[in-house]
Amino acid sequence: MTTVHTTSKMMALLALGQSVWLDYLRRDMIQSGDLAARVADGLRGMTSNPSIFESAIAGSKDYDAAFGRPEIRAKSDADAFEAIAVEDVQMAADVFRTVYDSTDGADGFVSIEVSPSLARDTQGSLNEARRLWREVGRPNVMIKIPGTREGWPAIEQALEEGININITLLFSVEHYKAVAEAYLNAMEARIARRQPVNRVASVASFFVSRVDTEVDKRLEKLGGTATSLLGQAAIANAKLAYELFGELFSGPRWTKIRDAGARVQRPLWASTSTKNPRYGDVRYLEGLIGPETINTVPPETLQLFEEHGVVRRTLTPRADDARATMHQVADAGIDFDDVTQTLEDEGIEKFEVSLRKLLGVIAGKRQALGVASRA
């Protein structure tokens, strides 16, 4: 396959149809002009979650002045966090607005997540998605809803109402198919009511490296020939999702939706930093390059990719090799349904823990600054 050379690896990926989003958000990055510079280099979007905000607020003084503002001081710790997060997302969305406008709404999105405590609550997720959509008030924001079974109806209804949705915490092809169907159903419902679909956007965030972490742990416990499959499941699983994407977003059903103005719901590769030091530090970027996709990347991994990543298409419409790999994983004794359920449960728990830690950090900061909540 041909290797692409341009001024930045992000631009090279764009030439192959893949957008890079930054899995990071911090106020100083926006205010210093660093984010605008990254956009000029080819960055096309940004994602956030409770863990990212925990790191940003706990690890900097960027937000100390905000905590002292009267309208923030009057809020509870949880409401103060949300107000600050909404401000960050609004500012970042304004930086990306040029991308959004120049691509006619195809790119340039910033994501903010509903509370992880609502991951098993359909109506709660929908209500919070509606509220955050109104609060941020930007056409290029995406509301993140976990792709749990309970989340599927909320995702479909929110999309039907015209809210941009980033479906997060997807680990299985089965769950990916469900949220892709939710998008197609929502677009069909809008078309039937003669509502526009050209500016309703959605991505399906399919997690990658965590799959290898969990499968490898189980393979090592099995030992023997099973260890020959170490490090192979994550990319194979993602490639099967990409194959299904190609099937769902083609054919008569999709053609009718597309002709009404809708865009595909792009797969977004998440959790693409390498967790195992035995593996290449950019393997989950190099291994998942293809048209109509996004890779959301932490700053450190993006820098490594700019330094020595190889840009060439590695995703193809058919994934026969990936299917063979997943059959081998199953034959070795790995219950992959249990793997993906475990990862979903752990992902929700991780974000809940991060949110609790974040609220503790905020309470401590406000106390130290002498601006403790009056609420």
DSSP letter for each residue of 114-152: PPGGGTT-HHHHHHHHHHHHHHH--TTEEEEEE-STTHH
At residue 280's C-alpha, the angle toward residues 277 and 282, to 5°, is 115
Rounded to an integer, the average pLDDT of 197-208 is 98
Note the pLDDT tens digit of each residue in 27-79.
999 999 999 999 999 999 999 988 888 888 888 889 999 988 999 989 999 99
Quick: pLDDT tens for 90-109: 999 999 999 999 999 999 99
Task: Give tens-digit pLDDT for 112-168.
Answer: 999 999 999 999 999 999 999 999 999 999 999 999 999 999 999 999 999 999 999
> Would you give the end-to-end CA distance of the chain in angstroms?
60
- On the CB side of 277, CA atoms within 13 Å amount to 0
Averaged pLDDT of the chain: 95
Determine contact, residues 84/21, Cβ cutoff 8 Å: no
**Is the C-alpha dihedral spanning 37, 38, 43, 47 positive or negative?**
negative
Local structure of 263: helix, strand or coil: coil
Token output for 53: 């905000």
Alpha helices, H only, the chain: 9-15, 27-31, 34-40, 50-58, 64-67, 70-73, 77-102, 122-136, 151-160, 173-192, 209-222, 233-248, 251-259, 283-286, 299-308, 320-331, 336-369
pLDDT at 328: 98
Residue 3 confidence (pLDDT) = 40
Task: Provide mean pLDDT across the span 186-192.
Answer: 98
Q: Which two tokens mark 322?
A: 């990936």
pLDDT attached to residue 365? 86
Tokens, residue 99: 């991308």
Q: Does position 358 have pLDDT exceeding 60, yes or no?
A: yes
Residue linked to tokens 């359909």: 122
Angstrom distance (rounded) from CA 366 to CA 67? 7
pLDDT of residue 60: 86
Average pLDDT over residues 166-180: 98
> Dihedral angle at the C-alpha atoms of 130, 133, 135, 137, nearest 10 degrees?
-140
**Which residues are annotated as catalytic?**
144
How confident is the model at residue 375, as a pLDDT? 54
DSSP classification of residue 298: -
The token pair at 57 is 């607020």
Fold of 10-209+249-310+344-369: TIM Barrel (3.20.20)
Nearest partner of 36 among 94, 100, 109, judged by Cα:
94
- DSSP secondary structure letters along 77-95: HHHHHHHHHHHHHHHHHHH
pLDDT of residue 95: 98
Assess whether pLDDT exceeds 70 at residue 197: yes
Q: Tell me the mean pLDDT in the region 11-19.
A: 98
Quote the CA–CA distance of 179 and 165 in Å, as a whole number.
10
Q: How far apart are CA 2 and CA 201, in angstroms?
A: 31
Average of per-residue pLDDT across 172-198: 98
pLDDT of residue 373: 67
4 pLDDT above the threshold of 70: no
Residue-wise pLDDT for 248-306, tens only, equals 999 999 999 999 999 999 999 999 999 999 999 999 999 999 999 999 999 999 999 99
> Percent of the chain scored above 90 by pLDDT?
88
